[in-house]
Amino acid sequence: MFKISKNIEYTTFQNILLWLLMTSGIIKPFFSYLNVPFDWTFVIFVIVTLDIIYNLITRNRQIVLNKEKLFMVAILLVLYLLILISLFYTPSKNFSIVKSFLFSINVLFFIYPLFIKALDLNLQYKLFLFILLPITLWFIIAKTLYFSPLNSGYRLVSIRFYDIRKFYLGFGMGLCILTILQVYLKKNNLVGALSIVLLLGLGARGALIFLVVTLLVWKWKSLLAKIMDFRIKRKVLNNIIAASTILSIILITQYEKIYNFLYLGLIRFTSLFQIGEDKSVLGRIERITFTIDYIFSSLSTFLFGNGIGSFGIIYSGQDIREYPHNIFLEVLFELGIFFLLLFLVFLFLPFFYKRKIVFKLLVFYFLLNALKSGDLIGLWLLFAFMGLLVFNPKIKDEATS
């Protein structure tokens, strides 16, 4: 009895640690705002590393890698080796070293699911719901208050918020994970609806669009079947009318407060329709155009790239973190076609494995994000869900049934 209890406690610990690992970058701004005197993400990385070492020492005979898993690990190691080789020809002298080192964090995210004894999706869902969602709500309220005229005089929100205002994208991705888990686990639809409202408040355009695309790819057959066989019962119709009436009253009586809450986020969505005026879109188009032209400027660039971390110094003349906001173009620019082809195998081969659909959906979602906003050292969540997809840990309910 004691042994079973101990296993359950350790499984819970690992699931909490996995959640902390996945959200370490997302909620780090919250701790920065509170002036927490340590690096939150670094602490989590250290704990995860210690847990991996603990498992290697105590469970070395229980951790088995089949051919599928070994092949994926081998590909990742070859990719990392090619990154290190590119250090010899990159024009970046400083950031290239930083970038090649930070890529190891992706490896950590990818490997950790191998050591998880059982994945508790219900616990993951609750952690996103009861911790990340309230912090996201705080972020939106703080952003609204900070940019309110009242804040300049009353200091409703500390000036420190200005430094973290751009971290809305991470919160948006966290809400999308929550929504995908909510649909997969068949939890209350109100949670998904609230997540969408908060995504609007954040102004996380890509996060919301890619969430809708992911859900449509996943559920298009059932949605089409429901549309083709659409029938509405009187009870359902009454509920819709009642809900619409209540919602209308709230919108009419509280319009100004709701508008102020969503305004800063909604303005980002409406700017998409202002062709030629959205600075974010124009900046991405400029980078993509430059990247494509430069890639095909010479055969060596196309084959081997310009070296890790080279985009910043070539594009802006500064040895800093810059990227074309498309992971495939970045890889092709810095590391060449051979690296890109191997990287594509690494990303897409696991989709053909027999795995839980929820893992594939989450990888698909973060792949879409990587085509718009990702760079090679910012793929932590993608690599985490790649690890879950490849190593396929047991789902807790299934493991105990």
Written in H, E and C, the secondary structure of 154-208 is HCCCCHHHHHHCCCHHHHHHHHHHHHHHHHHCCCCHHHHHHHHHHHHHHCCHHHH
**Rounded mean pLDDT of 352-381?**
93
Q: What residues does each domain of the chain span? A: 2-52+71-399
- Residue 398, pLDDT score: 55
pLDDT in tens, 155-180: 788 888 888 988 999 999 999 999 99
**Rounded mean pLDDT of 114-133?**
95
| CA 383 – CA 110 distance, rounded (Å) | 5
Q: Can you read off the two tokens belonging to residue 294? A: 């430069």
pLDDT in tens, 293-307: 999 999 999 999 999
Average pLDDT for the chain: 87
pLDDT surpasses 90 at 385: yes
Closest CA relative to residue 301, chosen from 326, 267, 331: 331
Assign 358 to helix, strand or coil: helix
Rank 146-160, 232-246, 265-279, 318-332 by mean pLDDT and report only the highest.
Answer: 318-332
- Residue 399, pLDDT score: 42
pLDDT band for 328, please (50, 70, 90 cuts).
Answer: very high
pLDDT surpasses 50 at 270: yes
**Rounded mean pLDDT of 243-268?**
68
pLDDT surpasses 80 at 366: yes
Q: Can you read off the two tokens belonging to residue 118? A: 């059982």
Percent of the chain with pLDDT over 90: 62
pLDDT surpasses 60 at 276: no
- Residue 151, pLDDT score: 78
- Residue 82, pLDDT score: 97
- Residue 313, pLDDT score: 96
Residue 268 burial (CB count, 10 A)? 16
pLDDT band for 2, please (50, 70, 90 cuts).
Answer: very low
Contact (Cβ atoms closer than 8 angstroms) between residue 215 and residue 365: no
pLDDT band for 238, please (50, 70, 90 cuts).
Answer: confident
**Rounded mean pLDDT of 64-70?**
90
- Residue 259, pLDDT score: 60
Name which residue leads in pLDDT, 328 or 259. 328
pLDDT surpasses 70 at 135: yes
- ∠ CA(388), CA(382), CA(9), 5° rounding? 40
pLDDT band for 271, please (50, 70, 90 cuts).
Answer: low
